[in-house]
């Protein structure tokens, strides 16, 4: 469960989902030390809500994780023309034969059917 401050940090990322922010960008918004902020950022990363860039801690930036539920909810709340374009692989549709070809492997289909 997220703390109130962690939710506030997440809200900052949701305000500008495409931006990458550093700890220095976030720190002025809170009356806390860097250690507390890094602890909150680590919790958000572990929850899969944000992701950190590669590099040293000093140069690291953070952004909303594109596959997180929060990011998906934000994206779906926008008008369709504002969303990122999704490109489909036409060969999947062209080669599809009902009840003969599958996108999932046998193991994936069995797991799906056993889970209901």
Please report the pLDDT score of residue 35 as a whole number. 93
pLDDT higher than 80, residue 84: no
Sequence-ordered list of residues with C-beta below 8 angstroms from that of 54, at least 6 positions apart, any chain: 60
pLDDT higher than 90, residue 111: no
Domain edges within the chain: 1-116
Let me know: does 42 contact 62? Beta carbons within 8 Å: no
CATH architecture of the domain covering 1-116: Orthogonal Bundle (1.10)
pLDDT higher than 80, residue 107: yes
The pLDDT tens digits of the residues spanning 27-77 come to 999 999 999 999 999 999 999 999 999 877 778 999 999 888 888 888 888
How far apart CA 22 and CA 11 sit, in angstroms, is 15
Range 44-52 contact pairs with CB under 8 angstroms and sequence separation of 24 or more? 44/2, 44/6, 44/9, 44/10, 47/2, 49/10, 49/13, 50/10, 50/13
| Structure token digits, residue 19 | 């931006």
């Amino acid at each position: 469960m997220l703390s109130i401050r962690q939710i506030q940090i997440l809200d900052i990322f949701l305000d500008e989902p495409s931006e990458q922010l550093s700890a220095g960008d976030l720190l002025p918004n809170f009356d806390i030390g860097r250690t507390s902020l890094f602890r909150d950022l680590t919790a958000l990363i572990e929850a899969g809500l944000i992701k950190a860039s590669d590099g040293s801690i000093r140069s690291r930036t953070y952004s909303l994780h594109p596959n997180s539920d929060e990011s998906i909810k934000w994206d779906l709340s926008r008008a369709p023309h504002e969303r990122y374009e999704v490109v489909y692989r036409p060969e999947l549709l062209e080669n599809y034969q009902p009840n003969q070809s599958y996108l999932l492997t046998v193991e994936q289909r069995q797991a799906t059917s056993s889970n209901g």
